[in-house]
């Protein structure tokens, strides 16, 4: 496994991030434990979760599954860089209560303690703001985070789904307070969806944040869906099926798969490997439902993409180009 440094921290993390959002909703506890065992055996040491994963009445279930895995061996926790998130409403008794979501100091304090209990650990390595909270000033957020760092409950703070100007606002406020600020940004970024290159990735680079792309296969669209339809009669479903109804989208995806067929490469593996070539990217999040899916993701880390192939990918998915030129009419 290849490793890199997480932003401007001393943490060394694997270039693949194990996403756990399927643990509970789609993968039972035993299989989730097996996937985490296999990930650790393969050298993946960066695990990402969120307090709301499990969803609906089972919010928090994913963190609990990770906690039961940690309970099996203290070495598991010692080897893992653990990231979770705060923002979503965790109220379970009917109508959500106010102050049980977003980024008020009260909710941050409440949410950290609840996550620590579910995860069965005394600290979280990377505590991420799942979304921006327009109602809570960053002065209050950093006051709460600084207290948690001083208490040893968290080490670093990161953001998720932040626009570039919010990354700047958060870190400028932190600098005025003498706080450490954000060290990472988790954003939607893949070959098909490259708008993060306009402002989010440059802002992250300027402020020393590691970029952690989520949905690297764009909901499965970059995972060989057209080939699967042709070869196995397997119909796409959900958002992927809806997207493929658009003739222009289908044509792009088909061109992508045909290009990779010429090179004898798997679409999903190339989509991950491409992200690993992008400036500022720490590592993409993979969310395997099975051990087989994890093995496919692992192959991407060793995949070298030729300049010819990279140029071909840019022709199909050109991206927005640099700012401010990308904003030109």
Q: Averaged over 134-138, what is the pLDDT?
A: 97
Predicted local distance difference test score (pLDDT) of residue 231: 72
Residue 329 inside a domain? The answer is no
CATH of the domain at 191: 3.20.20.100
| pLDDT value, residue 322 | 84
pLDDT band with cut points at 50, 70 and 90 for residue 94: low
Q: pTM, whole model, 2 decimals? A: 0.95
For residue 238, being part of any structural domain is answered with no
pLDDT of amino acid 232: 63
Domain hosting residue 151, numbered range: 3-220+267-310
Find the catalytic residue in 53, 87, 127, 189.
53
Instruction: Tell me the two tokens of residue 88.
Output: 């979503």
Question: pLDDT band at residue 230, thresholds of 50, 70 and 90?
Answer: confident
The encoded tokens of residue 318 equal 């050109």
- Confidence label for 245 from pLDDT (cuts 50, 70 and 90): confident
Phi, psi at 88, each rounded to 5°: -65, 150
Here the tokens at position 23 are 């643990």
CA distance 35 to 74: 17
Residue range 30-37: mean pLDDT, rounded: 98
How high is the pLDDT of residue 324? 84
**Sorting pLDDT into bands at 50, 70 and 90, what band is 327?**
confident
Q: What is the pLDDT of residue 237?
A: 58
Which segments of 129-195 does DSSP mark as H helices, in order?
138-151, 164-177
Residue 70 pLDDT more than 80?
Answer: yes
Cis amide linkage into residue 235, ω under 30° from 0 = no
Taking the C-alpha atoms of residue 329 and residue 326, their distance in angstroms, rounded to an integer, is 8
> Which pLDDT value is given to residue 112?
98
Write out pLDDT tens, residues 155-194.
999 999 999 999 999 999 999 999 999 999 999 999 999 9
At 29, list the tokens.
């506890």
Give CA–CA dist 122/119, Å, rounded. Answer: 9
Cα–Cα distance measured from residue 149 to residue 181, given in angstroms and rounded to the nearest whole number: 12
Could you tell me the sign of the dihedral formed by the alpha carbons of 230, 232, 238, 239, in that order? negative
What pLDDT sits at residue 33? 98
Residue 233 lies in a domain: no
For the question of residue 192 being annotated catalytic, the response is no
- Average the pLDDT over 212-237 and give the result: 83
Query: Is 254 within a domain?
Result: no
What pLDDT band is residue 209 in, cutting at 50, 70 and 90? very high
- 167 is a domain residue: yes
Taking 70 as the threshold, does the pLDDT of residue 117 lie above it?
A: yes
Per-residue model confidence (pLDDT) at position 96: 73
Q: What is the mean pLDDT of residues 12-27?
A: 97
| 53 lies in some domain | yes
Residue 243 has pLDDT above 90, yes or no: no
Mean pLDDT of the chain: 94
Residue 23 belongs to a domain = yes
Q: Is residue 236's pLDDT more than 60?
A: no
Q: What is the DSSP string of 114-138?
A: HHHHHHT-S-EEEEEESS--TTS-H
| pLDDT, average across residues 132-144 | 98
Report the alpha-carbon distance of residue 186 to residue 86 in Å, rounded.
13
In a domain, 325, yes or no: no
Query: Per residue in 246-284, pLDDT tens?
Result: 899 999 999 999 999 999 999 999 999 999 999 999 999
User: How many domains is the chain built from?
Assistant: 1
As a whole number of angstroms, the distance between CA 229 and CA 103 comes to 43
The DSSP symbol for 27 reads B
């Amino acid at each position: 496994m290849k490793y890199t440094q997480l932003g401007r921290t001393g943490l060394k993390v694997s270039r693949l991030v194990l996403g756990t959002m399927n643990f509970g909703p789609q993968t039972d506890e035993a299989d989730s434990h097996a996937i985490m065992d296999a990930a650790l055996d393969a050298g993946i040491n960066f695990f990402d979760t969120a307090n709301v994963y499990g969803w609906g009445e089972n919010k928090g279930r994913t963190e609990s599954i990770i906690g039961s895995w940690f309970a099996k061996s203290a070495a598991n926790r010692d080897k893992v860089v653990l990231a979770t998130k705060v923002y979503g409403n965790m109220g379970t008794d009917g109508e959500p209560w106010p102050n049980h979501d977003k980024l008020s100091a009260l909710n941050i304090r409440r949410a950290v303690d609840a996550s620590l209990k579910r995860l069965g650990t005394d600290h979280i390595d990377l505590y991420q703001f799942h979304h921006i909270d327009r109602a809570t000033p960053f002065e209050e957020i950093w006051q709460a985070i600084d207290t948690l760092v001083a208490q040893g409950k968290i080490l670093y703070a990161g953001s998720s789904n932040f626009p570039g100007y919010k990354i700047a606002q958060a870190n400028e406020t932190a600098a005025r307070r003498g706080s450490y600020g954000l060290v990472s940004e988790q954003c939607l970024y893949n070959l098909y969806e490259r708008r993060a290159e306009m402002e989010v990735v440059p802002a992250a680079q300027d402020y020393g944040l590691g970029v952690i792309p989520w949905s690297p296969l764009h909901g499965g669209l970059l995972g060989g869906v057209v080939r699967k339809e042709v070869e196995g009669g397997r119909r796409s479903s959900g958002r992927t099926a809806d997207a493929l109804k658009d003739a222009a989208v289908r044509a792009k995806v088909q061109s992508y798969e045909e290009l990779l067929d010429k090179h004898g490469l798997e679409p999903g593996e190339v989509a991950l490997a491409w992200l690993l070539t992008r400036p500022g990217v720490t590592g993409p999040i993979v969310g395997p439902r099975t051990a087989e899916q994890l093995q496919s993701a692992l192959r991407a880390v060793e995949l070298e993409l030729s300049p010819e192939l990279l140029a071909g990918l840019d022709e199909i998915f050109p991206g927005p180009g640099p700012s401010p030129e990308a904003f030109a009419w």
